[in-house]
Amino acid sequence: MQRINEDLRTGQLKKMYLLYGEEAYLRKQYRDRLKEAIIGDDTMNYYYHEGKDVVIGEIIDLSETMPFFSERRLIVLENSGLFKSGGEELAAYLSQPAETTYFLFVETEVDKRSKLYKTLQSKGYAAEFAVQDETTLKKWILGMVKKEGKNISPSALNYLLEMTGTDMENIRKETDKLFCYCLDKDAIEIDDIEEICTRRLSSHIFDMVGAIADKKQKQALSLYYELLALKEPPMRILFLVARQFNLLMQVKELQRKGFSAKAIGEKVGLPGFIAGKYVTQSGRFSKEELREAVEACVEAEEAIKTGKMNDNMSLELLIIKYSCERKN
C-alpha cells in the first residue's frame, strides 16, 4: 500500500496495477483512488469489466485504440480469474502494451506462478490486501471515532470487533450506524453496540455453542430459533456448528501442547482478540465431548441427506442432546 500511496502522491503512476487479496474494502478503495488519479471523470476513455467472460482479443484491440481527446485510456478488469488460468495471451501483450493505455486488475485470488502475474509484477506493481490484524483495525476504528468527535473505551472497542469481525467493509457499515445512533453522545458504549450493530453469524454460532457448553438448553434453542427467523438455512447452521466444534477441538489440543492464546489464534486462523474466547470455551468441554459432537454433526448431516430426518428436527435434537444436564 505504501508504494501505491507514494505513486498517488507523486503522480508517477505505473502503466499497470494488480490489487488482490481477501480484504475487499481496501481493494475497492485503492481501485477507486487509482482510477481517479489515472483518468479522473473521463468516461470516454474508461472501460470496466467484471467477471470471467473476458474476450482477450477485444481487450487488446481496445488497448491499441488511441484515446479520444486524452493522453490516457484506462482498462479495469475485476474478478476475471485470469491470474489463475487463461491469462497467457494477455501476458504476452502486456510485455509491450500501447503507451497510452493503463491497466488495473482487481482480484481476490491469484497464482503467483502464472505468466500473467509475473509479467505484471515486472512491468507494473502488484499489491496484496490481506485481512488486517487486530492492531491495524483498532487504529483505523479509533481514527474514525476521533474524526466524529467521540470516544470509545478499550472494552467497547473489543466488543465492537467481536460483533463485526475483521471485514473492513462490515466494520465501516456498522460504525456508520453507530455514529448515527450516538449522534448526541460523546462516547460509544457497549450498550450502544449491542443495540444497533448486527451480530455476525459466526458470533451467533459461538454464543449458541457456549450455551450448549453451559447446559443452558433454553438459551441455546432460543439462539437457534433466532437464526431460523433470520432465514438462515438449517444445513448452513449445522455446517457452522460442526466447524465450531472442530475448531474448539483444535484449540484444546494446541492448548494441551502448551501454546499461548495468541499462538493458537495464529495457527487456526483466529484474530487475537477472539482466540482467547475460544480457549476459554474449549475448556468447558472435554476432548471426548468435542470429538463426539463433531461426529454427531456428521451423522446428522448424513441423516438429512439420506432423508431419514428433516434438517430442522435433526439440528434441534443435536442441540437438545448436548445442552441437557448430564447425569452422574
- pLDDT, one tens digit per residue, over 236-271 is 889 988 988 999 999 999 998 998 888 888 888 877
Residues 6+ apart with CB under 8 A from 315: 224, 234, 237, 238, 241, 300
Q: Please tell me which residue, 174 or 1, carries the higher pLDDT value.
A: 174
| Domain ranges (residues) in the chain | 2-128, 134-196, 201-323
Strand 46-50: give its sheet, edge to edge: 46-50, 73-78, 101-107, 16-20, 125-128
* Closest alpha carbon to 14 in 89, 130, 119: 119
**Is residue 328 over pLDDT 50?**
no
| Mean pLDDT, residues 295-312 taken together | 89
CA distance 294 to 317: 14
What CATH architecture does domain 2-128 belong to? 3-Layer(aba) Sandwich (3.40)
Supply the pLDDT for residue 325. Answer: 65
- pLDDT, one tens digit per residue, over 127-175 is 999 888 888 999 999 999 999 999 999 999 988 988 888 889 999 999 9
Quick one: 269 exposed, middle or buried, by C-beta within 10 A (0-12, 13-18, 19+)?
Answer: exposed
CA distance 78 to 177: 29
| Mean pLDDT, residues 34-51 taken together | 95
SS3 category, 19? strand
CATH code reported for the domain at 201-323: 1.20.272.10
**What is the DSSP track for 206-226?**
HHHHHHHHTT-HHHHHHHHHH
Amino acid sitting at position 257: K
230 with 208: CB under 8 angstroms? no
CATH code reported for the domain at 134-196: 1.10.8.60
Tally DSSP H helices, then E strands, for the chain: 16, 7
- pLDDT, one tens digit per residue, over 178-235 is 999 999 999 999 999 989 988 777 778 888 888 888 888 999 999 899 888 878 888 8
Residues 6+ apart with CB under 8 A from 294: 242, 245, 246, 249
Same fold, 2-128 and 134-196: no
